[in-house]
Structure 1
Amino acid sequence: MPRLTVLGTGYLGVTHAACMAELGFDVLGMDVDESKIARLSAGEVPFYEPDLEPLVAKHLDSGKLRFTTSYEEIAEFGDVHFTCVGTPQKRGDLGADLTQVDAVIAGLAPHLRRPCLVVGKSTVPVGTAARLAEYLRTHAPAGDAAELAWNPEFLREGFAVLDTLKPDRLVVGVRSAVAEATLREVYADLIDAGIPFLVTDFATAELVKVAANAFLATKISFINAMAEVCEAAGADVTALADAIGHDPRIGRRFLNAGLGFGGGCLPKDIRAFMARAGELGAAEALTFLREVDAINMRRRVRTVELAREACGGALLGRRIGVLGAAFKPNSDDVRDSPALSVAGQLQLQGALVSVYDPKAMDNAAALFPTLAYAPSAVDACRGADLVLHVTEWPEFLAIDPAVLGEVVGSRVILDARNALDPDRWREAGWTYRSLGRP
């Protein structure tokens, strides 16, 4: 059984390392951040992901999982090296910043003195794998025996452990039978369980992830565009989505109109996809993604407009309780969070904003320190002229509107996720507003 390493201990890296240990491999994780490695070695995962911290602790105890800051130790230990570093959006540009990807390959290559497989999992512009394969060939002492493959990740935050251990599919971009055989051995248990194993070239493997994200973003923005039309026409976008979702060619999943998508992946990935298509001379093929992005960003503006209307036409001095800060439930990730973006805009326009989120409070406060943060949903809404629901945590869906109604200043709620039951809230004496519904 090959020994595995994981370079980069962010969201993807820690999840992959723990799950590979769960599959029975000896795994060594690596990061240049000494404080992060110290926390992980003590069993503390520095972000929230359901089921992940117990899995890390389990395999630290079993001895299957360890962490280090040494490239030399990684190279000596591992037969298969997974690179799991971030590719954020460049400052002032749509393209992906490959600084971390290049750095980890440059740090690893000089220490690769025996045959091994380096497997990229990061979301990168098409063409990156071919460039990195050549770099490995010329900079690793092992030469051609230090081979590259590309194995994109398809994790959903909040379901990352499940998506690693029971993925919809496995995609591997390889250039040799040896690389394919090695990855078949790594993923043997999943393949035996019937998970599709798709073997492609480098470019196709790189494109699979960004194409999937582009399609998902398009579907979400489509229903949000329909919400704009429904508002103008007096129609109900939720009923519309239910009706068209029965068509098997369309499907109901991800047809929930609301505040739109955010997070550290989808927005930056579709922008990087557009940028790379332009570099390849195929810019016109992806011009529709500009409108997808624009529709998504308009949802935030529209939510602020509806909040202003719900407050009688002015936000200055109005108290607003905001339920949610993470970009989605079951996560503490606030990167490009629509929830926090709206809360910040409301504050800039003079509202007195109080935010509560079950898991993302610390991250939110670090990013938006001027907002007020409350210890509970009830406290966030105390004395509020408007309650704004922006992240669909189960805790918020279960709130008793009658109980919440006892602490607010006005029983007015704006459901920016179309996730609450309008009849239940109206029966409790609330004025209920949402995006794309009467």
Structure 2
Amino acid sequence: MRLSVIGCGYLGAVHAAAMASLGHDVVGIDVDEAKVRSLSLGRAPFHEPHLEPLLAEGIAAGRLTFTTDMAAASGSAVHFVGVGTPQQKDGDAADLTYVGAAIDGLLPYLAPGDVVAGKSTVPVGTAAELAPRVEATGATLVWNPEFLREGWAVKDTVDPDRLVVGVPTSSTTGEPDEAGAAAADVLREVYHAALANGAPFIVTDLATAELVKVAANAFLATKISFINAMAEIAEVTGADVTQLADALGHDVRIGRRFLGAGIGFGGGCLPKDIRAFSARAEELGRGESVAFLREVDAINLRRRRRAVDLVVEALGGSVFKKNVTVLGAAFKPHSDDIRDSPALDVAVRLHGLGAWVTITDPAALENAQRLHPQLNYVAERDDALREADAIIMVTEWDEYRRELTPEHAATLTRGRIVVDGRNGWDAAAWRAAGWTYYGMGRP
């Protein structure tokens, strides 16, 4: 099939390359000329494992192109819209400027029978507002949310754990209307490979599809903040939150995933999405239904302060003129994304207290330095550790969590203080090697 992808940021670029790898002819469209040039050369403008080989393969095969010209969307059977929905500058609600602009720009090139598939994370009710504009062209608007994990986005697109498609429904039966049913069939063809591999294909109304995405993010954020709330209790009782999480995780109703206490979540999705969800619920007159998300957000931010407090405590009550090495800048491993990064937040707070902060990260240093040039950046891990009075791990890259031994670290640093912001290290091993170890919610 011929497909267009409007918006070639993180979501769109991955989706375009993945669809081309499945045999579709794909054109990616974006207003950013530099981004389009980079992608056209097979270079991803961000760090995502396995994406560049996919780009190169699609371009070489002639199935994947990128352009700034919206007219290139003409003739495509499906138009995926994957532009950003950032948090508004003056509030918590989502900024839908880019979504509206993408739809308006696409309208002149739509033909009867085309399917416009929204993939952006939007407040519930957005699709219903946009649908009449699309339907006036004879095309059908559906909502097909993404469930990508940064660092695993290619796999999650090619081999998703579920596909959700919200379509227009009958006002009397609630079932897909004629246009909605036809659009769902078109998307079944688009995702034929995933369906052949057993991925569930869930057809819903538009509002439910929008809610699936924000509800999933809200649930994951709540689970992370729950275990971090337990860490706060553990810290004043002497309990060990890692053992608590292990015990809870054996309950099949709970599970162990996302019960890792630490400095919390960040990135371009969870923080803004739970705030936008709260804002939308209040607009709908149901703010009390998700009022707990405000506390979820507050717990998450408190853990960053707690990590800083541990470093200060470990260094005798002051970090002034002390060398502190921060392991990690990205909000998570396998990514160069620094949006709302807990790692950078911790580093900036320590710098503000007078510490000489050195940051290292395998992928995110350039982005971090552009945002916070006042900090010291060192590419090589061992160079960053030299003469440190204290170490704090805030992004659990393998070269920190698995490959750095306490014995090796001791040959590089001046002090023997380590703060484990992700509870990823073996506390006993570090203590046995002569280090003073501080964990998050651990004795």
In the superposition, the TM-score normalised over structure 2's length comes to 0.96
State whether structure 2 residue 418 is matched by structure 1 residue 413.
Answer: yes
1:81 match: secondary structure: strand
Q: Select the residue among 379, 386, 406 that pairs with 1:401.
A: 406
Sequence identity percentage: 59
Which amino acid counterpart does residue 417 of structure 1 have in structure 2?
R
Q: Select the residue among 135, 138, 147 that pairs with 1:154.
A: 147
Deviations along 1:363-412, whole A, 9 cap, x unmatched? Answer: 11111111000121111121111101100000002112212111211111
Deviations along 1:139-163, whole A, 9 cap, x unmatched? Answer: xxxx2x2110000000000000111
Q: Which residue of 2 aligns with 1:73?
A: 72
Which amino acid counterpart does residue 310 of structure 2 have in structure 1?
L
Deviations along 1:98-152, whole A, 9 cap, x unmatched? Answer: 11101111111122244311100000000100111112234xxxx2x21100000
Q: Which residue of 1 aligns with 2:307?
A: 303
CA distance in 1: counterparts of 2:131 and 2:89, whole angstroms: 27
Which amino acid counterpart does residue 356 of structure 1 have in structure 2?
T
Q: Which residue of 1 aligns with 2:3?
A: 4
Q: Select the residue among 326, 335, 340 that pairs with 1:322.
A: 326
Which amino acid counterpart does residue 48 of structure 1 have in structure 2?
H
Which amino acid counterpart does residue 404 of structure 2 have in structure 1?
I
Number of paired residues? 431
Matches for 1:134-153 after TM superposition, within 5 Å: 134-138=132-136, 143=137, 145-153=138-146
1:77 match: secondary structure: coil
Q: Which residue of 1 aligns with 2:80?
A: 82
2:115 match: secondary structure: strand
State whether structure 2 residue 165 is matched by structure 1 residue 165.
Answer: no
CA distance in 2: counterparts of 1:265 and 1:77, whole angstroms: 32
Q: Which residue of 1 aligns with 2:27?
A: 28
2:420–2:438: 8 Å Cα contact kept in structure 1? yes
CA distance in 1: counterparts of 2:61 and 2:47, whole angstroms: 22
Q: Which residue of 2 aligns with 1:253?
A: 257
Q: Which residue of 1 aligns with 2:395?
A: 391
CA distance in 2: counterparts of 1:73 and 1:243, whole angstroms: 55
State whether structure 2 residue 399 is matched by structure 1 residue 426.
Answer: no
CA distance in 2: counterparts of 1:234 and 1:259, whole angstroms: 19
CA distance in 1: counterparts of 2:44 and 2:383, whole angstroms: 28
2:119–2:146: 8 Å Cα contact kept in structure 1? yes
CA distance in 2: counterparts of 1:406 and 1:260, whole angstroms: 30
| Greater Cα offset, 416-425 or 234-243 | 416-425
Q: Which residue of 1 aligns with 2:373?
A: 369
Q: Which residue of 2 aligns with 1:129?
A: 127
1:290 match: secondary structure: helix
Stretches of structure 1 lacking an aligned partner (at least 5 in a row):
none
Matches for 1:220-299 after TM superposition, within 5 Å: 220-299=224-303
CA distance in 1: counterparts of 2:66 and 2:253, whole angstroms: 46
CA distance in 1: counterparts of 2:310 and 2:318, whole angstroms: 11
| Greater Cα offset, 108-117 or 395-404 | 108-117
Which amino acid counterpart does residue 428 of structure 2 have in structure 1?
D
Which amino acid counterpart does residue 323 of structure 1 have in structure 2?
L
1:419 match: secondary structure: coil
Q: Which residue of 2 aligns with 1:60?
A: 59
Q: Pairwise CA RMSD of aligned residues?
A: 0.9
Q: Select the residue among 206, 210, 213 that pairs with 1:209.
A: 213
2:135–2:141: 8 Å Cα contact kept in structure 1? no
In the superposition, the TM-score normalised over structure 1's length comes to 0.97
CA distance in 1: counterparts of 2:259 and 2:10, whole angstroms: 26
2:391 match: secondary structure: strand
2:331–2:343: 8 Å Cα contact kept in structure 1? yes
CA distance in 1: counterparts of 2:72 and 2:337, whole angstroms: 31
Shift of 1:79: 1.2
1:272 match: secondary structure: helix
CA distance in 1: counterparts of 2:435 and 2:218, whole angstroms: 38
Which amino acid counterpart does residue 402 of structure 1 have in structure 2?
E
CA distance in 2: counterparts of 1:77 and 1:387, whole angstroms: 56
CA distance in 2: counterparts of 1:330 and 1:114, whole angstroms: 42
Which amino acid counterpart does residue 239 of structure 2 have in structure 1?
A
Matches for 1:183-222 after TM superposition, within 5 Å: 183-222=187-226
CA distance in 1: counterparts of 2:292 and 2:364, whole angstroms: 33
CA distance in 2: counterparts of 1:56 and 1:111, whole angstroms: 25
CA distance in 1: counterparts of 2:440 and 2:372, whole angstroms: 25
CA distance in 2: counterparts of 1:305 and 1:332, whole angstroms: 26
| Greater Cα offset, 180-189 or 326-335 | 180-189
Deviations along 1:16-72, whole A, 9 cap, x unmatched? Answer: 001101111010111011111111111111000010111101110011111111111
1:252 match: secondary structure: coil
CA distance in 2: counterparts of 1:328 and 1:41, whole angstroms: 27
CA distance in 2: counterparts of 1:263 and 1:348, whole angstroms: 22
CA distance in 2: counterparts of 1:113 and 1:136, whole angstroms: 10
